Every structure is written in structure tokens, then in C-alpha cells.
Amino acid sequence: ITKMDLMEQGANPNAGQTIKDELAGKCQKLFQAFLEEFQNSDGEVKYLRDAEELIRPERNTLVVSFTDLEGFNQELATAIQEEFYRLYPFLCRAVRNFARDHGEVPISKEFYVAFQDLPTRHKIRELTVVKVGSLVRISGQVVRTHPVHPELVSGTFLCLDCQGVIKDVEQQFKYTQPSICRNPVCNNRRRFLLDTNKSKFIDFQKVRVQETQAELPRGSIPRSLEVILRAEAVESAQAGDKCDFIGSLIVVPDVSQLSTPGVRAESSSRTAGVQGYENEGLRGLKALGVRELSYKLAFLACHVAPTNPRFGGKEIRDEEQSAESIKKQMTVQEWEKVFEMSQDKNLYHNLCTSLFPTIHGNDEVKRGILLMLFGGVPKTTMEGTSLRGDINVCVVGDPSTAKSQFLKHVEEFSPRAVYTSGKASSAAGLTAAVVRDEESHEFVIEAGALMLADNGVCCIDEFDKMEMRDQVAIHEAMEQQTISITKAGVKATLNARTSILAAANPVGGRYDRSKSLKQNINLTAPIMSRFDLFFILVDDCNEVTDYAIARRIVDLHSRIENSVERVYSLDEIRRYLLFARQFKPKISKESEEFIVEQYKRLRQRDGSGVTKSAWRITVRQLESLIRLSESMARMHCCDEVQPKHVKEAFRLLNKSIIRVETPDINLDQEEEEAMEEEEDDNQMNGHDAPNGVNGDVNGEVNGHEHTNGINGHGVNGESAKPSLRLSFAEYKRISNLLVLHLRRAEEAEDETALTKSEVVNWYLKEIESEIDSEMELINKKAMIEKIIYRLVHYDYILIELTQSGLKGSAESSGTESQEKDVTLVCFAYIVLSCFVKCCQSVMSM
Amino acid sequence: MPTVHDWINNPLAVVDGLFAQSNSSPDWEKKVVEYFKEKLKLNDAHTWVPSLNDVPLYYLKPNSLVKFRCMVQDMFDPEFFMGVYETNDLTSNSKQVKCGKYKDITVGGVDFNSRNTVTSERQTFYCVPIPGESQWAKEISFIWCTSQARVVPSTSYVPNRHKRSYEEDDEMDTQPQHDVDMWGRPKRQETEAPSHDSSSAHCTSSLDLNFPLPGEKGPACLVKVYEDWDGFKLNDMLEVFGILSVDPALSVIADEREASSLLDPTEVTETVEEQRVHSPPPSLVPRLHMLYAQPLVHNNPLLPSSAPENNGDHLSSVLGELASVRAELHTYLTHVLMGDSLAAEYLILHLISNVYSRRDVLPLGKFTLNLSGCPHSSPYTEHLYKVIQQLVPSSYRLCMSLHNMNNQRMVPRKDYTANRLVSGTLQLANNTSLFLDETQLEQGQLDATGVRNITALGNLISWQKVDYDFNYHQMEFPCNINVLITSEGRSLLPSDSQVNLRPTLNPPNLEEYLSAVQVAQVPSQFNKYRIYLSGARALNYTISDEITKAVEEDFVEMRKDDPQSMSAEDLHRLLVVARLLSLSHGQNTLSRDGWMKAKQLEALRISRTQQQKSLSGNEP
């Protein structure tokens, strides 16, 4: 049978190959040789096993790595790349022969070849006329899929005149009857019957892909392309996926062309049947041979794979990726740039300035936001509690201090960022109400429920103006990384792994330096505590800064040319970010010690009351410190958190906490404030002391003052009674147990907390089965008490709350002895592994 | 005369001629484009070319050269075609190599095995008339065309409206309100677009021509682009010169394809929905094979279409005394704004504002004005819009009623079934005036669409961009739209400047008063205003180093006195006001005097807002 290649007619003037294609035959042989001979590093014939798999009835496609082929025979690889469409049937034949040689496959079974690992990638926009027929890789977003149906690839026909059977009539996207019966004496050209049982079919699916945003020139509509998937490639792409397609661009002849005289293949009888209903005018036109000059394009893909790091989609968070796979996805230039960036001594600074070129000053905020973009490493404890790696940042500042600009920049820059305002015009909720203020006749929009995107950055402007219910939702999202939606009585929990970048206005419009941060913003303590970094932007009335601001703004207006000076383009930063985020830095021994050191320092200073910080230093800050250090390490593409990373993280944390120095205020006031804050701490733990508001808290201040004594005590306890010594692992296990128990108790019951004795009893009950004698029970009890003691006073994991309700450190020192009255509260939503690390270092000291 | 206009009447003959001369050297394509460019340059030759905007389609000769003033509404996927093909006449057995460029169809047997076939690529744009184009702009461009050439070549169409030249069209604007009815629809039937003629009326219902604004008319066109298509952007305003292709065979072929694809699902052709969009009947959506396109910076027919060197001198020479035009316009607007001269001043600044540059995410030069204190119950805003419509070349009034907010499609959306961009009211060409009427708003619930629309309007105002909905993601399209918000209290939407309207007059009958104000204008004045507004907007502007320094010092000084009164944002706005104020006086550069005036103006405005606040007793 002569294979009439309609597809190539338009594109390739030399396409009329009616005689045996010699080049193709040669390539078929060479390709078969490749399949037979190519060995992997273990010396096995690589494709043998795969070919044997093809025996299974549902399999028919052999996936071949193009890189292998290039390594085996460069010439063959080039030929295939350039003439893919022409050679494709021959390559498939080679696969068939290969499969037949190595397994019992039905004679009639067809096989197909698919290539993967094609090194170069083309943009959809680059698929021009010259690319027709060659093997290319494109990536695009699948926007539409059609159902799979069988396609006739080779038909067997029965001549209705002479009853002769005509086999193997090739079909190309089009039902094609034999042009003439092969029986030389029979001149039948029209009357044929398709024998479906003897014809061959293939799975066939059309999908439409669209140019990805990254490839799209600004201001243009993305191009789309019809992709044809066959055999095993069907159903491998879903609408919304970003996929790589390897195959070739083809030109599809349209029906009108086929039904015009002069074309060899006959049009389908079904189409012909329609003509009977058509009007005279059409026939008239047809007789004149009117035809369109245009073709339709399609992409025939043999291999589909998800675009790995979803490059085009600007997706920067895909934790399953490895740095290596990302590197693979980049072009040489892109990779070189990333490498160059990772070597940049000034990277930190350059990234900041490139991200926010139009914002003057505020370097610390820029750094904080940058670290937020890199993020810490999310962890899961042995108990299955997941701990966020996302860094949350809050910018508090006077009006018109570029707060919104920061948010807008981040929204522009990062994928899946949501920008929303706590109130009014840009409500991001699902619904909203328009309400009229009767006094001023102003309309106000009251936003509905807030939507949060999973895996993104949520920029919230006017955070303080946000509705309480939204604040609660945000709170949940910030800590649990989920968001709960109650609708029609059904509560759904959705993932919301997002970093929050919030901007808030100070109470009363201006930041009052004589007051604490807490008093300056209208946020609840639990929410405040979920931010890793707070930045305070004060509209300083200072000639130098005023000049700088004026210069920047006037500059903006006086220079015509649109030049924003950036060391790195946004795309370069995006790529770098994607790459760097694949690192999961571990904390080195040195850094661990350093973290502990810094943390202790923070707490000491906090306790000593020398500097009045924005809030109490708690384990949360330790968590933040770890996250920020990890983020720093990521930024430099390090696998290990080094002390220098911790140092910068600490510096930033320190700045963020104690940014605004308070001028002298009278002591009474300070005391009041201290009280207030202690109460806040109380709330922070989601717990009210049994006595209600007046319940006194022995915060860390007390704990700290006693550190020395306790320290000694703890050591003594351990050395004097060797029987109470326990391995670190054991200590860790028990303390985790306790913390979890307390947490559970807190979550279950907000009203009453567990007293220390309750906890001890619970623990003993837990290990009841292990206890044989009374002696052992007493020992265990002593041990658990020691552990709790250590947890409270040394590791600050738990806090003791006394019920006696007395103020002042003098008094509270007395409470130490009244252990029975003490209520235990798990102090933090703590990274248990971090805690463990700290303990470890403490113990090793 | 006929020979002179051959390139208009039968441009394909010119193309074929140049192709035949070329002896298959590829630069014939360039020569064709050059030829037509040269022809169009010759003494206003482009005005002889009939316009699709003005002449009904059935009066135009197929395959003749026509022009179309339009906006790119959508960009389709590229298509391949036979750029060169060979015909095989079976009867005479003679072969002939032909050029397939600028054509949709061919007649005669094509030899598909010919070695001479060359496959080429072209791009299709879906173009619609400029959305919201004012009636006066349409009429003037029509007159421009007919009065200069005095003939409409190659058509038998004699427009049955009065032929008036631009110079003598004084009476045209005498009673502007009478040209349009209450809804801004033209009353005169002959200005209606051909698609609404009885011959094709039955088709319109089944085919959505995808105009961005509701109630728009006029032809939509599939423009086939052969060169440099990546230079065109969505929403660009263009004047396309191209070869009109309306062969009915096109729709027959499409019908046939549709019928067959219904029967054979394995066909790799488009779906029915796609075909309807991509191959509409040429009688409704003609094809235009682009030879040359002039990008339009503005669509004001009173100004030259491209003005690369724009300075105040040029404008003054056109207008004579610029200062007097400005003063007259100010007086006129003061009357319209019921005696509020400050509001009139700000309205002028608003009307000449223009996003001249973008710094990162920040659009520079925009000046959204919120005119608060507009009466709630009277049709005042409607009249105000009509006044603005008379002044700007394109505009749209969006009534922010709850119903509209919840139901109107504002943001364009990609329809993947039909594979097209479904337009929305915010798909507007540059420098369109968008009149947001918040006085029409009432209390109530906004649904999901309403919230999206409000957000879209907020983004449009703050960042001059619209995020088009591509289902799987959003895509940002920058725009340059002048937004004017009229409201009773302060608008719920953000704005660059809020002026509280303070009428000094209280006419007993508002409507009568306003029409009296209109009538009182010498009609030729309108054209001066139009030239002035479009011209001032296009002026260049610089700030000298000396003034830069002075401004900086002034800022520091002002903050010393009272840091609360002057923030960075205030400076930002002040500089925009100063820029617009200078431009409105035809000055290309900021002077000390201009700076002081801008400061005074802002001080007046702010004091008024503060008074308003203390009156209503509301906290900021």
C-alpha cells in the first residue's frame, strides 16, 4: 500500500514519498539496533525489560530516553529529531520487531514509541512553519480535555462489488476509504464496507494547551494549541495541569481540502451523505473548486509528563522537588545565573534592592520580607504534629509609610499571592454587604468570609480593621496551616499553608512611642504571637529622611524614562527562589549552641528588664529564630544552618522585637504595663488562670530569676541520685508525652487547666503496667516530678501557674515550695524537635 | 480617475503584479507593504480609503482596500496557509504559481504535490470598534473622510446624512443633546451600523459580536496580520488598512466543516462553538487582510493621529490662544458644576490626566477624581456625563447600582470552549473616560460577582490594571483609563483626589439650567475644547534640577511646621497636581509659580474636605 502522507503536504514540498523511504528504512534498522544493544550502567540491555512488559495487553508504548539515543548514535538522534513525523511509523515498527523478538505478542498488536528527556524546550510561540514535523518539547497548561475514544488507524474494507477484502488502509485523522478496489477488474471507487473486527484502533484524545504565563509577552493573549494524544499517552493530562509534551507540530488538512477534487484520498461516505442535503449553491461552489488557503495546526504528542517544578506557572513552592530536578529544568543560561547569584557575596542586599527598587530605606523590613519568601523548613514531629515553616511578618506603621507598597510588591512578585484589605474596597471575601453611613452618606463595604490560598503568600492590608471572624480564621491559618469553613452545618477544613504578610495601622493613626507595641495596635495577643517578625515604621520627622523621601518621590515624577534599577530581574529572583527553596537546611551543632546562647541572652535581657521589649520572649521566638536561620541558610543555598545565619536571624529578630525604644516613663506605669503583659502571656496560651482575670502568672521573669539556683538543683538531683538519671531519649520521650497531654487537655478544655499533681498522676497511670512494686512507683513519681521541674524552670516548656494569686517576684519565689497548688500549662506550641535540640545542647553543656 | 485608485479598488492586482515580478525572490513581500505605505502617505491619500466604521459593509466592494478604526479585542491562534501555491488546470493542463497572501480562498485545482508550495504563517486578531467612542468623534471622522476626498471611491454609497465639512459644521453641536436620547443612543437612524440593517438582523441574535460595552454597534472584524504581529498588544487602538474579504464561500466552507465535525468526532477540527467564533459569516464579521496598520495614540479625529513631537507650541498654534480656551472651558465647566470653580479646575486636571509611565507596580500620572456631594435623587450625574461625553473621544458611564454590580461582566474572561476572550466592560482602550456613578448605589448584598467587580474597579483605580480571568489563573493587563467617580458622600472606591462639590447656584429646574448652559456655548468652542484636552494630555513634561531641589526643600520645610499635614503620599499627589496644572496651561516644565499654585489648589481642596468632615462629625 502506498502511504499517502497528507499531513506533510502543506509543509514539506518533498513529502510525496510514494516509493519506499530509504532513509526511514535505515533509521528503523538503526533504532532497532539501539534497542537491542543499548546498555545501562549495570551492563544490562536497558530497554529489554521494558519491552517484555509490553506483552501485557494494556501496554503498547515503549518509552525511550532521548539522551540515551543521543549517547548511542548522535546521527540517528539528529535524524529522528529533524524528521520525527516522517520516521515515526518506522520507529514504531522497530519497537514492534523488538517486542516480538523478546516475547509472545499477538501478530496484529501495534506498538508505539515515546521519547522522553528531550533536552531542548520550545515555547509555544516558537512553533513556526520550520518546526513542522520535527521532534520538539513544549510545555503548556492544559485548559481543555476531550473524552477518549477509539480512532481507526488501519482499516480493513470489504468491496461491495466484488466482495474482495482490502486490508491495511492507513487512516490519518480522517476516515479514509480505499480510492479504488484493488481487484484489477473491479472499478469500484465508492461502495466499501468497513470490517471493524479486522480493523485496528487506537486510543485517541484531544486536549488543548495554553502558553504558560512565563512565556507570554506582556499584553498579549496566550496562544493555545490542540494536542493529540494517542495510545498510552491518553488520560495523562488533566485540565489545569502544566505538562511537557514531546512530539511534533503537524498541519492538519481540513475537510474542505479533502473533499475537493484533485486530492487522492476519498472523502468519507458519511460526509458525502451530508452533501445530499446541501443546497445547490454549495455544489456550485464545490464544482468550481473553491477552497480555503489556511490549515489548522495541531501537536501530535507521544509523551506527556507534568512540568516538573512548574516553572512557567511561577510556582515557587513545591516541596516534593529536589534541587537537582529544578536544575534540570533550567536552561544553561538560567542555571548559570542561579549559580552566579548563589555565589554573590552581596546577595542579601542585592535581592532586597531588586525586590523593592522603588521603596526608600526600610532595609530591615525588606530583609524580613525576603526571608519570609525563602521560608523556614516545615517539620513534622514524631507524634505527627506538623510545624510550620512559613514565616509571618507584620508591618505596623504610620499612614503613608509605604506599607501597602510592600504588600503590593510581594503580591506582584510571588505566585498565588492574595492581596486583601481588612476593610472596604478590595474585599477578598465571597460576598459582601454595601452599607450606607447615614451621617456622611458614605457607602462602606463590609467584607464577607475571607478566602486564603493554599501554598501562597497572603498579603493583608489594614489587618487591624479586619473583622473578628476573619482574624480567627487567619489565626488558625497561621498556626495550624488549615482554614475551617462552616457551611450548612458542615465543617470543612482546608489546607492553608500560607505565609501572612500583614500591614496594620497603629491605634489612633500614629505610633505612640511612649507605649508598647501591644498598646499601639489593635490586635489580640494570640494573633500577635503568631507573627515571627514585627516591623514598626514610624513617620520620623527628620530632615535627613525627609530629604531622602522627597528626592525619591520627585525623582519618580521628574524622570521620564522608565528605569527601575535592579541587580536581578524578578524572573531571575523567582527562579533563584524556586531553586533555593528546595534546600532543607539542618541545624549544625555549632549553630545549635549558638541558637541556645542567643535565646538565653534574649530571655535574660527580657527578664532583667533592662530593655523594654515589645513583648515577652517565649519559645515562639525560639521557633522564629530557627525558622529565620533556616531561611537565611536557604537563601545562601546551604544544606546546613551556620552560626552566621543564626546571627543575622537573631539580629533581625532582635530589631523586630525591640525596634522602638521607649523613652523614660514613670515606674508605676511600667509596672502596670508589665502586669498587662503578663496577662497577655496568659491569654496567649489560650488559657485563663482558674481565678479568672486576677489569676497571677509566674511568667518567665520569675522562672528566670531562679535559674541559677534551679540549675544547681537540677544538676544535683541528677548527680546525687544516679537512680534518677535517665537517658536523653527517655527524657525526650517523657517530656513529649507530657507536653502532648497538656496540649490536648488545653484544647479540649479551656476552662480548667491541669494541676501538677493531676499531670503526675496521669503519667503514672499511663505507665501503670510497667510498674511492679511500690518502690518503683515512688521512684517514677520522683522522676516525673523532676522532669516537670526541669521542664518548667530550665527548658521553659511548661509554666506553672499558682492559684494563690500573689503578685511580685518576692512572693512568687515562695510559690516554689507550694508545688501542690501549681497548675501546669504547656507554654508553647513548640517545635518539639527544636526543643529537643535545645535540650540536647543544654545537656551537653 | 479610475487608474489612480486602482490600488484602492483592486489591491490584489497590485500584490499579484509585484509577486509576478519578483521571480520567487522573497523580498516581494516587503515591496508590497512598502508600496501601500507610500501610496497612503501621498497627500492625504488615506482619507480616500473608505472606512468600515462609516460605510455599511454591503456598500463596500469585496477585495478592495478599506480602513478600520478599531481596538484589538482578542488574539486568536496563528494559522498556516499556502503563501505560494500552484494551480493545475486540468482542462488546459497548464500550471501556474500563485500567491496566497492576503486571500482566504482560491478557485481552481490546487496541486498539493507541487514543489513550489510555500507554507506561511499569519495571525488573526478579533477587532471591534473603539468601545464607547463618542458620537461626535464618529461623525467627525466620517466628515473628515468625505469632505476631504469629496468622493467615496469604489462604492456606490452616498450617505444620506448631510455632507458637511469640518469647517462648516458649526451647527452640528448646537444642540448636542438632541443627537442622543436619554440613554446615549443616537436618535438618527442613518448613523446605525450595518449589522443592524434588516438584511442581517436575524443573524445578530445568534452571534455575539463580543463588544466590551453593552449596546455597542458597528462591525467587528477578523484582521489577518502578516508581519510583526508580536508588536501588537491586546486593547491597542489601530487604524488598519487592509484588503476586505467577504466571499460568501467562506461561510459555506465553515458550514460544511461544522456539519462534518458533528458527524465525525475524530476530526481534528474545531468544536461547533469555536467555529462559530473563529469562522463567523463574513457578512457579519468581514475578514480584513492587513497591509498596514497605524497605531493610534488617541482617537480624537480633530488631531493628527500620530503626534510624536508634541509640545505646547504646536498645541497653541492649533488653538490660537491656549489660555483663553482653557479659561472658557473652565467657565463652562464651572457653570456645569453649578458654580463650583474649584471642582471645575480639578475636572480639567482629571480630563487631561494620563498614565505616562510605570515605575514597577506604580502607575504614574493617573488622577482619579471623586466628585462627592452630587445630588442623589436628581438626574444630575446623567447630565454631567453627557457633558463629558461631548468633550472626550471615548467614554462610558457605569451606573454602580447593586444590580449592575452583581450582574455586569466587567472583567474579561477566557472561554475555553469557544476559545475566545469574552469581553467585559473594563476592556477599554487607553484614555477612555470611565464615569462611575455611585449615586446609583443602594444598600444591599453584593454577591460573588459583585465583590469581584468592586475589587476589579478598585484595582483599576489604584494600579491601572485589570486582572483578566483565565480560569486557571489571572492575567494582568495594564490599562490607562481616566476614572471619575460621582458620589454623594466620599466614594467607597479609592481615588487620588476627592473634591466635595459646593454649588454656589441653586437653579430651580436643574435640567433647564443645564441645557441652557449647553446652548450658551458657541458650538465651535466644543471642538476647541476637544483639541485642547487631547492635546494637553499628550504634552511632554519635565522638572528641572533647580525646581526639584526647591520642591525637596519645600517638603522638608512643610514637615518641619506640621509633619501631620504633609506625608510622602501628599507630596506624591501634589506633584501629580502640579504636573497636570502645568500641562493644562500648556507649560512643559514645572515652574516655581506652578508649584505654588498647585499647593494653593490642594490647600483649598483639603480645607473643604476637612470642613465637610467636621460638618458631618465623622472621624476620618
Q: Give yes or no: residues A148 and A279 share one domain.
A: yes
Residue B345: pLDDT above 80? yes
pLDDT number for residue A813: 39
Residue A705 lies in a domain: no
Which is it for strands B287-295 and B221-225: parallel, antiparallel or unpaired?
Answer: parallel
The pLDDT of residue A796 = 56
Residue A447 has pLDDT above 90, yes or no: no
Q: Are A381 and A422 in contact (CB under 8 A)?
A: no
- Domain-embedded: residue B34: yes
Given phi > 0 = left and psi -120 to 50 = alpha, else beta, which region is A362?
A: left
The three cell numbers locating residue B479: 490599562
Position with higher pLDDT, A505 vs A10: A505
* A479 and A524 both lie in a single domain: yes
**Residue B298 banded pLDDT, cuts 50, 70, 90:** confident
Range with the poorest average pLDDT among A643-657, B185-199, B569-583: B185-199
Q: Is residue B72 part of a domain?
A: yes
Question: Is pLDDT at A89 greater than 60 in this prediction?
Answer: yes
From residue B563, alpha-carbon distances to A542, A718, B554, B566 in Å are: 10, 62, 12, 6
Judged against a pLDDT cut of 50, whether residue B400 lies above it is answered with yes
> What's the structural domain count of chain B?
3
DSSP state of B61: P
Distance (Å) of CA A185 to CA A162, A169, A442: 9, 20, 91
Total domain count, chain A: 5
pLDDT in tens, A27-67: 888 888 888 888 877 777 778 888 878 888 778 888 888 88
Q: H-type helices in A532-686, by residue range?
A: 543-558, 570-580, 589-608, 619-635, 643-657, 667-684
Q: Same domain, yes or no, for B448 and B593?
A: no
Cβ A296–B570 below 8 Å, yes or no? no
Region A826-832: mean pLDDT is: 40
Compare A148 and B435 and report the one with higher pLDDT. Answer: B435
Of A270-284, A717-731, B344-358, the one with minimum mean pLDDT is A270-284
Show which of B507, B537, B567 is a domain's final residue: B537
**B132 and B79 fall within a common domain:** yes
Task: Locate the chain A residue with the closest alpha carbon to B479.
Answer: A219
Verify that B598 and B525 share a domain, yes or no. no
Quick one: average pLDDT of A356-378? 82
Domain at A522, CATH number: 3.40.50.300
> Phi first, then psi: what are they for A524, rounded to 5°?
-75, 155
DSSP per residue, B542-553: B--HHHHHHHHH
- A749, part of any domain: yes
Asked if A94 contacts A51 with a C-beta cutoff of 8 angstroms, the reply is no
* A398 Ramachandran zone, left/alpha/beta (phi>0; psi -120 to 50): beta
Q: Answer yes or no: is A574 within a domain.
A: no
In a domain, B402, yes or no: yes
Range of A601-610, A829-838, B239-248 with top mean pLDDT: B239-248
Domain boundary among A95, A116, A137: A116
- Domain identity same for B86 and B105: yes
Going by their DSSP bridges, the two strands A533-537 and A393-397 should be labelled as parallel
A278 and A137 in a common domain = yes
Closest-CA distance, A558 to chain B, in angstroms, reads 5
- Under an 8 A CB cutoff, do A425 and B77 touch? no
Residues A74 and A170 in one domain: no
Do B107 and B221 sit in the same domain of this protein? yes
Same domain, B473 and B597: no
DSSP A559: -
Cβ-contact A619, A743 below 8 angstroms: no
Q: Which residues 6+ apart lie within 8 Å of B292 measured at CB?
A: B33, B36, B37, B40, B240, B241, B242
pLDDT given at position B450: 85
Same-domain status, B367 and B498: yes
Q: In percent, how much of chain A has pLDDT > 70?
A: 60
Quick one: pLDDT at residue A312? Answer: 37
- A113-154: pLDDT as tens digits: 888 888 888 888 888 888 888 889 988 888 888 878 777 777
pLDDT at B479: 92
Q: What angle is formed at CA B441 by the lines to CA B503 and CA B490, rounded to 5 degrees?
A: 50
Whether the Cβ atoms of residue B324 and residue B583 lie closer than 8 Å to each other: no
Q: Is the CB of residue B188 less than 8 Å away from at least one CB of chain A?
A: no
Residue A731 lies in a domain: yes
Residue A614 has pLDDT above 60, yes or no: no
The whole-number pLDDT of residue A844 equals 37
DSSP A231: G
**Which of A83, A116, A149 finishes a domain?**
A116
Tell whether the model's pLDDT for residue B3 goes beyond 80. Answer: no
Contact between A801 and A823 under an 8 Å Cβ cutoff? The reply is yes
Q: Note whether A279 contacts B: Cβ–Cβ < 8 A.
A: no
Cell numbers describing residue A817: 515550695
Residue B485 has pLDDT above 90, yes or no: yes
Q: Does the pLDDT value for residue B572 go beyond 80?
A: yes
Nearest to A203 by CA among A146, A145, A148: A148
* Closest CB to B104 among A293, A400, A558: A293
What is the structure's pLDDT at B313?
Answer: 58
* pLDDT value at residue B192: 38
| CATH number of the domain residue A647 falls in | 1.10.8.80
A112 and A202 in one domain? no
Residue of B217, B234, B214 lying closest to B76 (CA atoms): B234
Tell me the C-alpha distance between B252 and B282, whole Å: 10
Q: Please indicate if any CB of chain A lies within 8 Å of the CB of B110.
A: yes
Which segment of A293-297, A808-812, A825-829, B591-595 scores lowest on mean pLDDT? A808-812
Instruction: Give B117's contacts (C-beta < 8 A, 6+ positions apart).
Output: A9, A10, A13, B82, B84, B85, B86, B111
Domain termination residue (choose one: B488, B508, B537): B537
Cα separation, B235 vs B447, whole angstroms: 29
Across A510-519, A568-577, B65-74, the highest mean pLDDT is recorded for B65-74
Q: Which amino acid is at A632?
A: M
Task: Please check whether residue B261 lies inside any domain of the structure.
Answer: no
The band of A423, judged by pLDDT with boundaries at 50, 70 and 90, is: low
> How far from the centroid of its chain's Cα atoms is residue B40's Cα?
23
In sequence order, which residues have a C-beta less than 8 Å from that of residue B342 and are 6 or more positions away?
B499, B502, B601, B604, B605, B608
Alpha carbons B514 and A341: distance in angstroms, whole number: 65
Instruction: Tell me the C-alpha to C-alpha distance, in Å, between residue B567 and each of A400, A539, A648, B337, B525.
Output: 6, 8, 32, 30, 40
Compute the distance between CA of residue B426 and CA of residue B396 in angstroms, rounded to an integer.
10
User: Is the Cβ pair A553, B79 closer than 8 Å?
Assistant: no
Nearest residue, CB atoms, B494 vs list A173, A425, A439: A425
Query: Is there a single domain that holds both residue A91 and residue A159?
Result: no
In a domain, residue B70? The reply is yes
Position A558 scores a pLDDT of: 72
Percent above pLDDT 90 for chain A: 0
Same domain, B516 and B565: no
Closest CA to B287 of B335, B317, B250: B250
Task: Assess whether pLDDT exceeds 50 at residue B594.
Answer: yes
B274 domain-assigned: no
What is the C-alpha separation between B407 and B401, in angstroms, rounded? 10
Record the cell numbers describing residue A704, joined without a space: 528566670
CA–CA distance, B46 with B50 (Å, rounded to integer): 9
- A445 vs B: CB within 8 A: yes
pLDDT tens for A71-88 read 888 888 888 888 888 888
Q: Which one-letter DSSP state was computed for residue B23? A: T
Q: In this structure, is residue A600 part of a structural domain?
A: yes
Q: Is residue A454 part of a domain?
A: yes
Q: Identify whether residues B593 and B479 lie together within a single domain.
A: no
Highest mean pLDDT: which range of A217-226, A582-591, B46-55, B575-584: B575-584
Q: Is residue B43 part of a domain?
A: yes
Burial of B23 (0-12, 13-18, 19+ CB in 10 A): exposed
For residue A160, pLDDT beyond 80: no
Whether A89 and A151 share a structural domain: no
Task: Specify which residues A754 forms β-bridges with.
Answer: A824
Pick the residue with more confidence: A100 or B310?
Answer: A100
Q: Is the pLDDT of residue A803 over 60?
A: no
- pLDDT at B598 > cutoff 90: yes
Helices (H), B287-431: 312-319, 322-336, 341-351, 380-391, 402-407
Q: Is the pLDDT of residue B85 over 60?
A: yes
Q: How far is A845 from chain B (nearest CA, A)?
A: 52
CATH code: domain of residue B521: 3.40.50.300
Q: Which three cell numbers stand for residue B243?
A: 484588503
Q: Does any CB of chain B come closer than 8 Å to the CB of residue A663?
A: no
More confident position, A674 or A58: A58
pLDDT of residue B224: 92
Does residue B510 have a pLDDT over 70?
A: yes
SS3 state of residue B339 = coil
The average pLDDT across B20-48 equals: 79
Same domain, B461 and B588: no
What gap in Å lies between CA A71 and CA A49, rounded to an integer? Answer: 20
Residues B335 and B429 in one domain: yes
Q: Are residues A134 and A278 in the same domain?
A: yes
Domain span at residue B366 reads 309-537
Residues ≥6 apart with Cβ < 8 Å to B600: none
The strand pairing partners of B397, in sequence order, are B435
CA quadruple B39, B45, B51, B55: dihedral positive or negative?
A: negative
Considering only CB atoms, which chain B residues are within 8 Å of A428? 451, 455
Residue A537: which of A444, A404, A669 has the closest Cα?
Answer: A404
- Chain A CB contacts of B106 below 8 Å: 290-291, 293
Assign B271 a pLDDT band (cuts: 50, 70, 90). low
- Give me the residues paired with residue A300 across strands: A228, A248
Quote the mean pLDDT of chain B. Answer: 78
Same domain, A589 and A658: yes
Nearest CA in chain B to A300: B268
| A480 & A408 share domain | yes
Decide if A408 touches B, using CB distance below 8 A.
yes
- Domain of A632 in residue numbering reads as 584-662
pLDDT of residue A291: 67
Q: Mark which of B295, B325, B356 sits at the end of a domain.
A: B295
**Chain B nearest-CA residue for A315:** B473
B67 falls within a domain: yes
pLDDT for B392 = 92
Label residue B436 by pLDDT band (50, 70, 90).
Answer: very high
Which of A71, A99, A116 is where one domain is finished?
Answer: A116
Q: Does B267 touch chain A (CB under 8 A)?
A: yes
pTM of the shown model: 0.70
A669 within a domain of the structure (yes/no): no
DSSP structure string for B196-231: GSHHHHHHHTT-----SSTT--S--EEEEE-S-GGG
Residue A300 lies in a domain: yes
CA distance B500 to B592: 27
- B351 and B451 belong to one structural domain: yes
CA torsion angle for A132, A138, A142, A143 (degrees, to 10)?
Answer: -60
ipTM: 0.76
pLDDT band at B480 (very low <50, low <70, confident <90, very high): very high
Judge whether B478 is closer than 8 Å to chain A, CB to CB. yes
Contacts of B555 in chain A (CB under 8 A): 546, 549-550
- In a shared domain, residues A47 and A148: no
